[in-house]
Structure 1
Amino acid sequence: MSATTNSAPFSRAVVRAMQKLYPKALADSSWDNTGLLLEAPFVPSRRQSNIVLLTIDLTKAVADEAIAINSSIIVAYHPIIFRGLKALTLADSQQQTLLRLASHGISVYSPHTAVDAAPGGLGDWLADIVTGTSKVFEEPGLDPEEQAQKSQSKDNDDPFIRKRPPLFTLSHHPSQTLLRLAKQSSPATVTVPHSRHAIVPQSPELASHPGAGMGRIVRFNQPQPLPTLLDRIGRGLNNPKGFPIAIPQNTAISELKISSVGICAGSGGSLLSNLDVDLLFTGEMSHHEALAAIEKGQVVINLFHSNSERGFLSAVLRDQLEDTIVGEWSKVREEESGVDELKEALADDDFEVAISEVDRDPYGIVILKPEAE
């Protein structure tokens, strides 16, 4: 009888942990492709390290990184496979990545919209940012009130005010190294009273995940000045270099107050298009979707698609996954303790949840700087 082929024991513990945190039933299966997308065979003679690498996009650079650190499994938020494959060849760059990972014994799991919908997941993380519920990191020497007023007091921060001709530099969203350094500073939270609910509630509701659903609507008890929300978003995302905003014509940022916010990570055009809210907060919307929104008197804030998702890995998912893997890895080690070829792998109870250092949105920001006098 031939030996049973399976993935690495630690990889299976990670899959169980992800499915416990973000069940596939929460994902939008009408178009999404979630779950274990690549199951690499376990070869005891070249055993991988007990490392799970978190990333938003699984690119060639991320695959190189996973191979370099001898990772056992990659958890990639976006699925690298969306549609059925008729072949796996080296001619296609994404298929090449999958083949390389399989040859190195590295599996791939993708949770995608299950993370969006889950309570405490990506939708709630973005809602926490706009309501001040999430931990933010203040500039040294400024108390929270001074920090909030800082963005309101600078007319030069208003992109709708004409400026002098610029010089240009290119900047990407802060790296995971910078995010980790920021987390080591003293956090502050000031939650603004509000209510929130899913735009499209999960149906049928999962008993294990009550309140799940796609998108979020936040309604503040008291209207919030738009500059204050911009400050919360900037600090909640660890001060990115900038992001697009659209406001109704013949208005200024300083004049606008926000009572309600529609939230969708990633591409939010279709989910947010018919909402009766003051602000649409998402990763990206098309030109015409944004134009239609401001014609209705709404404000649109885009974070760039994956920058609306990437901070979640270090702010929430890493700690969630570490805590859940502890129990699932213990169960796997106990259940398979009698398998001789797994003894060495199961003897190692240590593991690491790492976040990709090379993962980034394909777009960077061109920083506009005044010319020297």
Structure 2
Amino acid sequence: MSITTRSAPFSRAVVRAIRRLYPQALADNSWDNTGLLLEAPFDPSSRRSNNVLLTIDLTCGVANEAIALDSSIIIAYHPIIFRGLKSITLENSQQQTLLRLASRGISVYSPHTAIDAAPGGLGDWLADIVTATKIIQDGSEQSPEQQPEQKKGAEDDPFIEKGKPPNTFTLHRHPSQTMLRLAGLSTPHKTSVSHTRRPVVPQSPELESHPGAGMGRIVTFENPQPLADLLDRIGERLNNPKTFPIAIPQDKTISDISIRSVGICAGSGASLLASLDVDLLFTGEMSHHEALAAIEKGQVVISLFHSNSERGFLSEVLAGQLEDAVEEEWAKLRDEEKETVDEAVKEALKQEGFEVIVSEVDRDPYGIVVLKDSR
């Protein structure tokens, strides 16, 4: 007798939705590991809520958050399984996380470089930042006076950890998704500096459903832009702290430099950007020697810390995209399986509503310590 084991119906609808938005064929499968990495069996006795949790990194803290939220599935941008596993034990912290999630019936999907390559994905989101292309979700414009007021000063900021008396340091971390929404960063202005953009490496063969896809982006401005203006645009979207590494040629100052072209790659972009003949390399991280090589060629390098070049995309773009796609796929799946003889599945299909949640726990491992003069 054969036994059919499947994941929760809602989880399957979410997988269909994310695959439609960001097909695995767009990922760089020569090294990446995308797709459904953990498919937890559906257990009717402990059915999960219809919510999906979005995160960049699937850490122990994010797993705890998913369990507390009663999530059915986690969409983790970075794959928690990257290389082949010969065993899955409790001794390894990441494997322990996977085992805990599987025991709770929570599946895990990783889209990673499929999101990087897709039109409207991470590459275009970063290009939107440097070109001041900011589109609000409802399609209407929002003037500065309509935007929620940003918090002033560091006194009440929960993302600044203060030192014990005597107070000689503060540790600044990238704000949570709630703080980003309160600051109005998910509803920015509708503006754009005139430019063209194209992939660094176009998708081949091109997917009919996703024309113009490819890894990285090259932005060329119609008119050269002062580097200081680009720094303002990046800082505006980062919220606080407005602090990030920049490397410029040793015989230049920021006010000397104008930018006509920008090479863009989320995360660690050196391998994709190193050979480009552009004025600015905009990425998540580059090594010391890679940055030195760039400025010796007369280029500027801006890096945002690896995952902080990716995290804002979740609330600004992916959450809304996924809500629309899941709504459609969940309705289709409920209709397709309405005649099922499995009473537990029938019961699960009755729950029409769902929620897309962006992790509040997920954050880059690095913060920025600001030391104070204790003299």
Question: What TM-score do the two structures reach when normalised by structure 1?
Answer: 0.90
**8 A contact 1:34–1:112 mirrored in 2:** yes
Aligned residue type for 2:49: S
1:182-201 deviation line (CA, Å, top 9, x unaligned): 23886323200000000000
Work out whether residues 138 and 235 of structure 1, in 8 Å CA contact, stay in contact via their aligned partners in 2: no
Identity, in percent, stands at 73
1:98-109 correspondence to structure 2 within 5 Å: 98-109=98-109
Give the structure 1 partner of residue 366 of structure 2.
363
Q: Which residue of 1 aligns with 2:35?
A: 35
Take 2:190 and 2:238, find their aligned partners in 1: how far apart are those partners? 14
Of stretches 32-41 and 241-250 in structure 1, the one that deviates more from structure 2 is: 241-250
Corresponding residue for residue 335 of structure 1: 336
Is contact 2:56–2:311 with CA below 8 Å preserved after alignment?
Answer: yes
Paired residue secondary structure (1:183)? coil
Secondary structure, aligned partner of 2:216: strand
Show CA shifts across 1:119-148 (max 9, x none): 0000000000100002599996799xxxxx
Counterpart of 1:291? 292
TM-score, length-scaled by structure 2? 0.89
- Residue-by-residue CA offset, 1:281-319 (whole Å, 9 max, x unaligned): 000000000000011110000000000000000000000
User: 1:116: which partner in 2?
Assistant: 116
Number of the residue aligned with 1:318: 319
- Map 1:1-373 → 2, pairs under 5 A: 1-135=1-135, 168-183=169-184, 187-339=188-340, 340-368=343-371, 371=373
Secondary structure of 2:333's aligned partner: helix
Cα distance, 1:372 vs structure 2: 8.5
Whichever residue aligns with residue 223 of structure 2, its letter is: Q
* 4+ aligned runs moved over 6 Å, structure 1: 136-143
> 1:216-268 CA deviation, whole Å, 9 max, x = no partner?
00000000011100010111233444110001102111111100000000000
Which 10-residue stretch deviates more, 252-261 or 192-201?
Answer: 252-261
Secondary structure of the residue that 1:218 maps to in structure 2? strand
Corresponding residue SS for 1:282 = strand
> For residues 26-81 of structure 1, what are the alpha-carbon distances to aligned partners after superposition, in whole Å with 9 as ceiling and x for unaligned?
00000000000000000111100001000000000000000011100000000000
When the two chains are superposed, the root-mean-square deviation of aligned CA atoms in Å is 2.2
Where do 5+ consecutive residues of structure 1 fail to align?
Answer: 144-165
Aligned equivalents of 1:321 and 1:222: distance in 2?
36
Preserved contact between residue 185 and residue 316 of structure 2 (Cα < 8 Å): no
Q: Distance in 1 between matches of 2:216 and 2:248?
A: 21
Distance of 2:47 and 2:306 partners within structure 1: 36
CA distance in 1, matches of 2:274, 2:188: 35
Aligned length: 350
Amino acid paired to 2:118: A
Report the more deviating stretch, 331-340 or 284-293: 331-340
Contact kept? 1:8, 1:41, Cα under 8 Å: yes
Contact 1:248 / 1:297 at 8 angstroms: preserved in 2? yes
Q: Which amino acid aligns with 1:112?
A: H
Q: Using a 3 Å threshold, how does the CA distance of structure 1 residues 183 and 3 change in structure 2: closer, same or farther?
A: farther
Q: Is the 8 A contact 2:11 2:73 kept in 1?
A: yes
